[in-house]
Amino acid sequence: MTKFSTKTLSLMALLIALEVVLSRFLSISAWNVKIGFSFVPVVIAAILLGPLQAGLVGALSDFIGAILFPIGAYFPGFTLTAFLTGAVFGLFLHKRQDGLRSLGAVGVNQFVLSLFLNSFWISLLYGAPYVPLLATRLIQSVVLGTVQLLSIPLIAKALRQIGRRAAA
């Protein structure tokens, strides 16, 4: 069984709070499209803590954000996707953050989880036809995928510099 230290729990709580703020207040949202930087705390959790913790940061921030600041009805499918998103980032980025790993993490998250799975949840919830929904959400996946691919190396570099300063 995985144990969480006080330091890990504190960092996760801080990242959850940051993700809720970025997701609910600093993102561009429509009923089927959302663009913003709410992935950053999840990527930080993935790099520093690993897949389970990053998955929990994603899932808990989705749940807490949906309860405290609802955009629509709470649906657990989105929380599942949020957990899987964090876990995928953690699986790809926890040990190393090279270009190929970043591409893999972003590819799985944007084109499997966000595009296909979240589109399925939206289709299920709102009765929107699945295939036309994919077309509109494809633009979101391409834009966010590009932003994530450009951001992950910067986040990793910043975390390394912070780690060096903390060790000094």
- Cα–Cα dist 140/115, whole Å: 8
Over residues 137-147, the pLDDT tens digits come to 898 899 899 99
pLDDT value, residue 117 = 96
pTM, full prediction: 0.93
Dump strand ranges (E) for the chain: 28-29, 34-35
Q: What share of the chain is helix, strand, coil (3-state, %, to 5)?
A: 80, 0, 20
Mean pLDDT computed over 137-166? 93
Per-residue pLDDT at 167 exceeds 90:
no
pLDDT value, residue 116 = 95
Mean pLDDT computed over 73-80? 94
The residue ranges of every structural domain in the chain are: 6-167
Architecture of domain 6-167: Orthogonal Bundle (1.10)
DSSP 97: -
Over residues 29-59, the pLDDT tens digits come to 765 667 789 999 999 999 999 999 999 999 9
- Cα–Cα dist 131/110, whole Å: 16
